[in-house]
């Protein structure tokens, strides 16, 4: 049985563990941030018109129209960083990440002390998988103190980026900070989940289970949390507990290939070969590949 347990544990460890999304926007910038001088009243009013209309279009998802209006605002006043930031946000939402970075960089040139420009640029860098650059920008945003309302979201984003780079202890520290400063309730389960993933990667499986359980309490339909809690239970040899979590994952997502494979692997560990192969073959039908596919084919014929 020890050999069987070690073999299955090895396969469990081979499964990839993903992090959730980063928070796209750390704040919604207001036109009240614009300082209007009396001597430029006419131009400033025109700038405000385009900026306000662009914001309205942005909020309805018309990012192409928003970009056009923000560009007009920039032509009228190229020295207001808010215009560049808002245009960068719409470019980012359209997937034009490098163009968004260019706008956020221009905003930083105008005002090097705007924490939101760094926060948004960090997110766009992460979209381009430049996680080191993203971490640098998130760090600068934290140093400039964006205020209590948004600081948790920036710690969260930096923690996710560090986790992706396998800097798991640093990720745990940032995600803990995000939780302590009361990140918005919507993101709280993702913060616990991500911290649990990093703990699992450091082989702190009990800590991982604790955090993943908290994520599930906050979001009872969080399929990835059940899946990865099952993995951690399996690695602690709580096989029945693992099967229960993989079964819940399948109930929530009947096409989850990993859940079928891992449940089959757990049943194999309990010497239930028939049940193991039923799950393994179901995983194959859903596109299982790699070492996991080879294991099913070798053991289930």
Cα-Cα-Cα-Cα dihedral of 203, 20, 12, 177, to 10°?
Answer: 10
pLDDT score for 29 = 41
Residue 100 makes CB contacts below 8 A (sequence gap 6+) with 88, 89, 91, 92, 120, 121, 124
Percent of the chain with pLDDT over 70: 85
CA-based end-to-end distance of the chain: 22
| DSSP-assigned states of every residue in 249-298 | HHHH-TT-HHHHHHHHHHHHHTT-HHHHHHHHHHHHHTT--HHHHHHHHH
The residue extents of the domains of the chain are: 234-301
Residue 30 pLDDT level (bands cut at 50, 70, 90): very low
**Predicted local distance difference test score (pLDDT) of residue 147:** 87
User: Where residue 232 falls among pLDDT bands split at 50, 70, 90?
Assistant: very high
**What is the average pLDDT across 205-230?**
96
> Looking at domain 234-301, does it have CATH number 1.25.40.10?
yes
Which of 1-15, 30-44, 122-136 shows the lowest per-residue confidence on average (mean pLDDT)?
Answer: 30-44
pLDDT at 14: 42
| Statement: residue 15 has pLDDT above 50 | no
Of 51, 59, 53, 61, whose CA–CA distance to 84 is shortest?
51
What is the distance between the alpha carbons of residues 236 and 238, in angstroms, rounded to a whole number? 6
pTM (predicted TM-score): 0.86
Q: For 148-191, how does the pLDDT look when each residue is reduced to its tens digit (9 = 90+)?
A: 888 999 999 999 999 999 999 999 999 999 999 988 888 999 99
Task: Give the residue among 144, 149, 157, 155 at the shortest CA–CA distance from 117.
Answer: 144
The answer for residues whose C-beta is within 8 angstroms of residue 183's C-beta and 6 or more apart is 152, 153, 155, 156, 191
């Amino acid at each position: 049985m020890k050999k069987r347990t070690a073999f299955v544990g090895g396969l469990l460890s081979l499964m990839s563990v993903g992090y959730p999304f980063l928070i796209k926007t750390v704040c919604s910038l207001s036109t009240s941030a614009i300082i209007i001088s009396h001597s430029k009243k006419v131009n400033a009013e025109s700038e405000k018109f385009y900026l306000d209309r662009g914001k309205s279009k942005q909020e309805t998802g018309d990012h192409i129209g928003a970009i056009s209006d923000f560009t007009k605002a920039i032509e009228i006043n190229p020295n207001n960083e808010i215009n560049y930031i808002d245009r960068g946000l719409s470019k980012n939402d359209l997937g034009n990440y490098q163009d968004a970075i260019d706008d956020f960089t221009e905003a930083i040139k105008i005002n090097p002390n705007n924490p939101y420009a760094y926060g948004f640029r960090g997110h766009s860098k992460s979209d381009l998988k430049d996680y080191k650059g993203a971490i640098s920008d998130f760090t600068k945003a934290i140093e400039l103190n964006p205020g209590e309302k948004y600081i948790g979201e920036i710690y969260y984003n930096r923690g996710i980026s560090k986790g992706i780079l396998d800097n798991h202890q640093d990720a745990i520290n940032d995600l803990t900070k995000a939780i302590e400063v009361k990140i918005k309730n919507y993101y709280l389960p993702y913060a616990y989940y991500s911290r649990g993933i990093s703990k699992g990667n450091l082989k702190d499986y009990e800590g991982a289970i604790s955090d993943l359980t908290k994520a599930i309490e906050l979001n009872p339909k969080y399929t990835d949390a059940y899946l990865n809690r099952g993995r951690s239970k399996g690695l602690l040899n709580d096989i029945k507990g693992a099967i229960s979590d993989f079964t819940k994952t399948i109930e929530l997502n009947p096409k989850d290939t990993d859940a079928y494979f891992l449940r089959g692997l757990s049943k194999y560990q309990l010497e239930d070969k028939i049940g193991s192969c039923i799950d393994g073959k179901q995983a194959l039908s859903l596109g299982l590949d790699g070492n996991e596919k080879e294991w099913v084919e070798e053991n289930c014929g």
